Amino acid sequence: MMGRVLSSDLLKIRRKGLWLLAVSGPFGIVALQALNFGIRYDYLTKKYADDLWGGLIENIALLVPVTVLAGVTLISSLIANVEHQTSSWKQLLALPVPRTAVFAAKFLLSVILLGVSCALLAWGTAALGVALGFGWDFPAVKILKISFLPFLASLPFLALLLWMSLTVRNQAAPVAIGLLAAVCSLFAGQLPEFVPLAWPLLAAGPPSGLRLAVGGGVLLGALILLVGAVHFERRDVD
């Protein structure tokens, strides 16, 4: 049943710019680092002479948390706006489909879009390193880690912002909260490890905080998703 709802949602987002948004995030990160290494190639290759791939991955990892949180914010809001702008909630919820399936399908659609972004970032990182002359022996595990794990650590924000976006017609509050979190993530290194805002950065960094960041992100995200689904099931949506 949820599969049919998801198929319907995929059709609804055609020509809504969501796929373009999913592509623009990783493209922006890779383009910025291409410019960075292109302008300062001699300096950076000398600085990271012992591990050229490690230097590239380190520079890309710094941009991933803020980009992921901004992407989570915009994608969750735009998915909700597909229903808000057409005032189709009453028609949608009148169908013989559980509200929880509707809510879960929206979440799964968000995960698909952001998962595509993560995959494109991994591909773009490898392609950039090869283009810069770092060789074909790229560290695939490290590239996949910085591409996907910050997103898993950001699942609490996705669940929360999607919940807010679906239940509130005015998107100003969820978008403001999400973008503020994205900006604050630039300084997340100063936060204690148990603060969720620090988790995307921890997930992209050293292994020491990896288990807490990813495990905490998945568990807290599942909890918020469950609470949001229960609330969505009981609440009237305009």
Specify the pLDDT at position 157.
Answer: 96
**Cα 20 to Cα 194: distance, rounded to the nearest angstrom:** 34
Q: Report whether 124 contacts 25 (CB < 8 A).
A: no
Of 99 and 38, the one with more pLDDT = 38
CB count, 10 Å around CB of 124?
Answer: 21
- Domains held by the chain: number: 1
- What would the pLDDT profile of 38-66 be if each residue is shown by its tens digit? 999 889 999 998 889 999 999 999 999 99
- What would the pLDDT profile of 137-155 be if each residue is shown by its tens digit? 889 999 999 999 999 999 9
How far is the CA of 158 from the CAs of 113, 221, 232, in angstroms?
12, 8, 15
**pTM listed for this prediction:** 0.92
**Cα 13 to Cα 7: distance, rounded to the nearest angstrom:** 10
Tell me which DSSP letter residue 205 carries: S
Q: Report whether 179 contacts 169 (CB < 8 A).
A: no
Q: Report whether 217 contacts 148 (CB < 8 A).
A: no
Specify the pLDDT at position 94.
Answer: 67
* Radius of gyration of the chain measured on its C-alpha atoms: 19
Q: Which residue has the tokens 């706006």?
A: 81
| Lowest mean pLDDT across 107-116, 123-132, 168-177, 206-215 | 206-215
Specify the pLDDT at position 146.
Answer: 93
**Cα 20 to Cα 113: distance, rounded to the nearest angstrom:** 10
Residue 86: pLDDT over 90:
no
What's the domain range around 126? 2-234
**Closest by Cα among 98, 83, 93 to 162:** 83
DSSP 7-47: HHHHHHTTTTTHHHHHHHHHHHHHHHHHHHHHHTHHHHHHH
Q: Report whether 51 contacts 129 (CB < 8 A).
A: no
- Please give the share of the chain, as a percent, with pLDDT higher than 70: 94
